[in-house]
Amino acid sequence: MKLVAIGVGPGDPELVTIKALRRLAEADLVLVPLSRKGRPSVAQEIVSAHLDIAMEPIVFPMVTDEGARDEAILEQIETIRPLWNGRETVALPVIGDAALYATAAYLYGVWKKIVPDLDLELVPGVSAHSLASARVGAFLALGTERLAVLPGTDDAEALMETLSTCDAAALYKPSALGEDLASVVARTGPWSRMVRIERAGLQDEKIIEGTPALEAAEEYLSTLLLWRWTAGRPS
C-alpha cells in the first residue's frame, strides 16, 4: 500500500497542481486532515473546489505531546481499517507543500509501524510563504541572500540564532510565540520590512504590515515574512 501525501497549496484553489488533482482522483481512499472533528478543513475546501469525491476525516489533535498525538492517530487508523485494508493507494491532501511542516509525516510514521511495507509518495504544492510573498508583491530572496524558513513552535533562543544570520525569513506558526513574537523579531533586527499574512488565498485573507505584524497572532494560518533589506536587496 502507498500513502500519497498531496500538497494542495495554502488556500487559493487556483494554486493546486494538475498532478495533485490527478493523484487525488486516482486514489482508492482520500483522507482529509482535521484539527478537530466538525471543524472545516482548508485542504478539503480546496479539493472540493475541483473534485466531487468522498473524503474520510482523520483528526490530527493539536497537542504538543508526541505520544498522545501518535496514539490518537493510531486509534483512527485502526477505526478506518476496513476502508484501507487491501487497497493500493490512500491519499492525504495537506495545505501548502506536502514536505514542509506537514501533518502527513506523523500519519506516515504511525501507519508504517503497523504496515511496515507502507510506501510514501510526496506530491509537492505551493507553500504558504510563496503565496504570501506573491500577495505582497515582493521577491523573497535574491542572489546570495539567505532565506530562513522557521517554525514559531521552536524556542525563542534557537529562533533568534537563525534570524540574526539571515537576510530574509518566513516564520511559520507565529501564533505559537504569542507575546514573544515582537521581542524575538526586534532583537534580531533591524528589519526593513515585516509583513504578516493571515489566511492567504482565502476569502478572509488579511495582510498586516509593519510593527502591528508582530502583535500576538490569534490566527493559526498566519505566516510572517521579514526582509533585512528594502525590496529584498541590500540598499
Ligand X SMILES: C[S@@+](CC[C@H](N)C(=O)[O-])C[C@H]1O[C@@H](n2cnc3c(N)ncnc32)[C@H](O)[C@@H]1O
In this structure, how many other beta carbons lie within 10 angstroms of the beta carbon of residue 67?
8
Minimum CB distance to ligand X, residue 67 (Å): 19
- C-beta of 41 vs 127, nearer to ligand X: 127
Residue number with CB closer to ligand X (74 or 99): 99
DSSP string across 87-142: -SEEEEEESB-TTSS-THHHHHHHHHHHSTT-EEEEE----HHHHHHHHTT-----
Q: Does 154 interact with ligand X (rule: CB under 6 A)?
A: no
Q: How far is the CB of 220 from ligand X (least distance, A)?
A: 5
d(CA 27, CA 91): 6
Residue placing its CB nearer to ligand X in the complex, 25 or 176 = 176
Is residue 140 involved in binding ligand X (CB under 6 A)?
no
* Helix 104-114 vs helix 66-79: crossing angle, to nearest 10: 60
Cα–Cα distances in Å, from 128 out to 56, 67, 113? Answer: 25, 28, 30
Nearest residue to ligand X on Cβ basis: 96
Among 41, 222, 228, 232, interactor with ligand X by CB under 6 A? 222
Q: Please report, as residue ranges, which positions from 92 to 121 form the binding site for ligand X (by CB under 6 A).
A: 94-97, 100-102
Q: What is the CA radius of gyration of the chain?
A: 19
Q: Does 11 bind ligand X (CB under 6 A)?
A: yes
Give whole-number Cα distances, 219 to 69, 156, 222, in Å. Answer: 22, 19, 6
Asked if 128 is part of the footprint of ligand X (rule: CB under 6 A), the reply reads yes
Q: Is 33 in the site for ligand X (CB under 6 A)?
A: no
CA distances in angstroms from 135 to 52, 143, 198, 199, 225, listed in the order given: 29, 21, 11, 11, 11
CB of residue 207 vs ligand X: minimum separation in angstroms?
10
Minimum CB–partner distance for residue 5 and ligand X (Å) = 10
- Taking the complex as a whole, the smallest distance from the CB of residue 215 to ligand X amounts, in Å, to 16
- 202-221 residues in contact with ligand X (CB under 6 A) are 202, 220-221
The answer to the question of residue 188 lying near ligand X (CB under 6 A) is no
Place of cell 486516482: 26
**In whole angstroms, what is the distance from residue 193 CA to residue 178 CA?**
20
CB nearer to ligand X: pick between 76 and 127: 127
The residues that touch ligand X, with contacts defined as CB under 6 A, are 10-11, 94-97, 100-102, 127-128, 172-173, 197-202, 220-223
